[in-house]
Structure 1
Amino acid sequence: MIVSQIKDANYLYFSLHAEEVFTSNYIKDNDEGIFVGSLQYETICRLLTHLQKEQDPEIKYIILDFRHIVHIQNNILEKIIEIRRLDYKLIFKNIIADLIKALSLEAIDNPKNILNGNNGYDICYFFHGELDEIYEVELNANSIFKNYFKKLLKDNYIQTYDKKHASSFVYLHSFIDLKKLISLERPFIYFALYKLAVKIYSKWSDKINSGPILVGQSLTSTFIVSVLSKLLKLDILIFDKIGPINKLYNKLEKHNFENKKYIIVSDLVCLGTEVKITKNLIEFSGGKYLGNVSLVKIETLTREDLNLDNIDRTIAIFSVSESNNKDLGYYIYTNLKPLDE
């Protein structure tokens, strides 16, 4: 199973580190989380087998993203050559200097391949030629992911709702069905959660070694928390049915909060009501709240009004904001009439 494939009009994108993490944790069960840096022969063989079975004549390019890969196992280059022999042009992203020799990139004469300030390549075209249509395409990995995720939501998982929000006093024009997405979009959901795990580590790298606890607020988020726990090697705590109209099922006295740190995990954060309730429970019980994360967040404030360093700012892999909510058909409203009516 390949988790990171993203298909565009004429290329396929793969994150090799995400695939290595999946190999390590779910196939070989090495339990190393996201803390692997070496690309193994088995992982590239798995990718080759996948491409051999799923050949698409419309696909001309394969993008292999090496971000977070610091070493490659012997004989990997020959498997990469086999991928190229499937009649694809290969493009490498985020190559560090130590990988250039192992991948024989010195032999590729392409004027578009320019070393960055660290003597690596942000992008390296593994083919010759001064003219090629792919040179005009922006191949930013974050943009590739976000554009794909947006299309996924728009085409399949946003539906008209026009009802009161379950836990806040506003109305939702539409509903993002992340429970359905999590159920149906496998294996891609593992890639999304891998990216969330990387963001969590990037945000709290100085805290991860002290073992903060991941807090799930509902049964819906249990799957998310369990995957993040495996990838970050952290313990979890599950609260069920957090919300102003629901009952808290867990008995708080069974868990000792004193001197422990917590990161709250959600599938979607809209107005943040459940997050605030959970945060208050943690702090009231003697724990320290570090922040909160989710797959998707709704940005109801401008970036200026919610400072990037604000502890209550949600870390997410996709944001619905004023830049894309109209295209997505997502809107929040109240019963109040506009002043100009």
Structure 2
Amino acid sequence: MGLFDLFSNDIAIDLGTANTLVIHKDKIVVDEPSIIAIDRNTNKVLAIGRMAMQMHEKTHENIKTIRPLKDGVIADFSAAEEMIRGMIRMIDEKSGSRFFPKSYRMVICIPSGITEVEKRAVRDSAQHAHAKEVYMIHEPLAAAIGIGIDIEQPMGSMIVDIGGGTTEIAVIALSGIVADQSLRVAGDTFNKDILDYMRRQHNLLIGERSAEKVKIAVGSALTELDNPPEDYEIRGRDLMTGIPKIIKVTYSEIAFALDKSISKIEEAVLKALEISPPELSADIYDNGIHLTGGGALLRGLDKRLAMKTKLPIHVADDPLRAVVRGTGIAMKNLDSFKSVLMT
């Protein structure tokens, strides 16, 4: 019996600002929004993940929905703990296997720009959720492993991981991050840009969930696309009359709304390229830049980055799951990846 069989209850977690994914026994068993609904009177958890997301921005005064992570790090410690516990309980329901909550190791991915205090919050939350051993791995390294890059080689690879709370940009070689930029401009910022644009331009008040739907349906980084999506109908409240109304938005409008935030990501990519050692720059020129995370699905983003950097841009096959897959591989091969795991 191999070492991994002894610890077959090990789990890998991509604890994201927008979504949390959990791998158990080589399968993604949990893929849920990072949100929790709590009864204000009893402090009892009412719902976690998708169920809580359906309640978000629709609750009365006795129920509150909390997103425990902000900008990639834990903002509400007790809610994060409850959420991790709930997600672990889901493993039972979804994998059909009996899970022993006292005997597992956990590998969690964290942003590369995280502070020691924020790191401790992640570790403590995991331990309070009954993890026996907790390992952490930086998101860009996990994303690189997840898309099949051999990070141990003396070959430079550049990863741009655009999540919900942070954009992680890293140049990786020899199992380490040589140059990195971590900025708190990502999917949530895009939602806020859309929300603000609707209010300013159309006098329409919409919620976070509606902004997210607009981003997925017609979100774009370029005002002109080869295969444009159809216009999208958005419902909200008219700020002038207070009455609900519907308007149609085009992808070009959304590209205009997101322009400033995408420019910040472009600047950070250029900055990371600027501070990379020249030998690694040569590797990146050959290999290009790899895009992962939910933000990689934004229409035209690869083209826009290619125009800005004059480098080839590769969008990962399943960008949303690249980080959790890499975390799962690191967990399965703890000895091989000891150098990139933190305790």
TM-score (norm 2): 0.31
Whichever structure has more helix as a proportion of its residues is: 2
